Amino acid sequence: MATTGNKNINSKLVLLGDVGAGKSSLVLRFVKGQFIEFQESTIGAAFFSQTLAVNDATVKFEIWDTAGQERYHSLAPMYYRGAAAAIIVYDISNQASFERAKKWVQELQSQGNPNMVMALAGNKADLVDTRKVAAEANATGFVLQLTCLQEEAQQYAQENGLFFMETSAKTAANVNEIFHEIAKRLPRVQPQNPSGMVLMDRPAERVASASCCS
């Protein structure tokens, strides 16, 4: 949930999308500036935080990765709980992954908070270059397919209140941009949810002073 105060906004951001669409790669690129070509399925770390400064506020994203629970449709409802933003990721070279992305949007519309900022990321946009190169050298079926999918995604995003970007975790294209755009779109004043406490293995004084939460 997004909480505000002194223009510090904390917001939970969830990633959704087909296995292999590049959810973890997007986060790794954004948080650590890394890209690993043959990224193993997510193990050991599925909770990142990263702070972004936008014009009028500092936004701290708490980013949740699916930890592979989406593979057999076993994502826990707590995943969506209190999420202020979501990035739905598909692979631009894979029509099936776009169809799955639409399913995730539906899932979010039924389970998530109605004011959630949703971004549709057509990932692996480095393949766009392949698209252009190939287009110049006579369009192949593959290229046509990529272009069609891009138009379809754009239209789908418009109709469903998402914003759309093609990203590449590999080249970093549009990665910071998509998070930045979400940060700009987050509501500055959120309805006050009853707030709770997070248990920590730390002394109270330190927690109070280092509190990320306002």
Partner 1 sequence: MDEEYDVIVLGTGLKECILSGLLSVDGLKVLHMDRNDYYGGESTSLNLVQLWKRFRGNDQPAAHLGSSRDYNVDMIPKFMMANGTLVRVLIHTDVTKYLSFKAVDGSYVYNKGKIHKVPATDMEALKSPLMGLFEKRRARSFFIYVQDYDENDPKTHGGMDLTRVTTRELIKKYGLDDNTVDFIGHAIALHRDDRYLGEPALDTVKRMKLYAESVARFQGGSPYIYPLYGLGELPQAFARLSAVYGGTYMLNKPECRVEFNEEGKVKGVTSEGETARCKKVVCDPSYLPNKVRKVGKVARAIAIMSHPIPNTSDSHSVQVILPQKQLGRRSDMYLFCCSYSHNVAPKGKFIAFVSTEAETDHPETELKSGIDLLGPVDEIFFDIYDRYEPVNEPSLDNCFISASYDATTHFESTVTDVLNMYTLITGKVVDLSVDLSSASAAEE
| Minimum CB distance to partner 1 smaller for 76 or for 139 | 76
CA atoms within 13 A on the CB side of 162: 26
| Cα-to-chain-centroid distance, residue 96 | 19
Q: What is the DSSP letter of 174?
A: T
Pairing of strands 47-54, 57-64: antiparallel
d(CA 148, CA 154): 10
Question: By CB under 8 A, is residue 197 in contact with partner 1?
Answer: yes
| Minimum CB distance to partner 1 smaller for 137 or for 199 | 199
d(CA 185, CA 6): 17
The region of 40-48, 53-61, 84-92, 128-136 touching partner 1 under the rule CB under 8 A is 40-48
CB of 198 to partner 1, least distance (A): 5
The region of 20-28, 42-50, 52-60, 131-139 touching partner 1 under the rule CB under 8 A is 42-50
Q: Among residues 43, 56, 159, 191, which is the contact residue for partner 1, using CB under 8 A?
A: 43
Radius of gyration in angstroms for the set of CA atoms belonging to the chain, rounded to a whole number: 18
**Site residues (CB under 8 A) for partner 1?**
3, 42-47, 67-69, 71-74, 76-79, 81, 193-204, 207-208, 211, 213
